[in-house]
Amino acid sequence: MKAGEQRGRQRGRIAMIMLGIAGAVLAVVTAAPADAKSGGTTVRTTINIPAMVVDNLCNLDVVNLSGDLTITTTTTPARNGGYTVRSSSVARDLRGTRIAPPPAINYRGSDGENTYSYYAPPPFPSTHRVVHWTTLSPDGNAPHMYLVLVIRETIAADGTVIPVFERAYLVCAQPSCSEKKV
């Protein structure tokens, strides 16, 4: 297979991943007040990945992934009228199997929690683009890859967080969590 054909196939798979994750995020977002007196909230978003075929761009393994990635966002009022936002992600049951080339080896999402905090200043709504990632580790002799998710978080005046999935992509080097005001 030529390099151009392979890149096109990878882009198509990543586009399908993004559409599947976007639909899953819209279907499972829930919000609950963290503390009625404080005005802060906690939002837990579970992204269900029923079956997602991805290319490990680090070694060209074709991997079928499935499972859940959970992102939890908590707001706490700050003294100057804004909110401290704590956003964390974990993929405890994200699993996969290399389907090509043989032999099959298993991949798994990181069981560790990935946390990032930032300040959301007034005026509200305040919108921020947040990057989360999870390590995809092979059980055999293959390099790690990283599934990166970009979420747009809008914080309302009462501290309610409205997360919206923007995109997903794979990288070979460990990324860092980050936030950027939009």
**Cβ–Cβ < 8 Å for 165, 112:** no
101 has pLDDT over 70? yes
Residue-wise pLDDT for 8-64, tens only, equals 555 555 545 554 554 444 434 444 443 333 578 999 988 888 888 888 888 888 889
Q: Give the largest Cα separation in the chain, rounded.
A: 61
Residues with Cβ within 8 Å of residue 150, at least 6 apart in sequence: 129, 130, 131, 165, 166, 167, 168
CA distance 93 to 131: 20
pLDDT of residue 28: 41
Mean pLDDT of 89-103: 87
Residue among 55, 23, 53, 25 at smallest CA distance from 143: 55
Quick one: pLDDT band at residue 180, thresholds 50, 70, 90?
confident
pLDDT at position 9: 56
**What does the alpha-carbon distance between residue 23 and residue 28 come to, in Å, rounded to a whole number?**
9
Q: Report the Cα–Cα distance between both ends of the chain, in Å, rounded.
A: 41
Q: What is the mean pLDDT of the chain?
A: 79
For the chain, give the number of residues.
Answer: 182
On the question of a cis peptide bond just before residue 123, with omega within 30 degrees of 0, the verdict is yes
Helix (H, G, I), strand (E, B) or coil at 81: coil
3-state helix, strand, coil in the chain (%, to 5): 15, 55, 30
What's at 98, amino acid-wise? R
- Asked whether 107 and 138 are in contact (CB, 8 A), the reply is yes
Query: Which residue type sits at 37?
Result: K
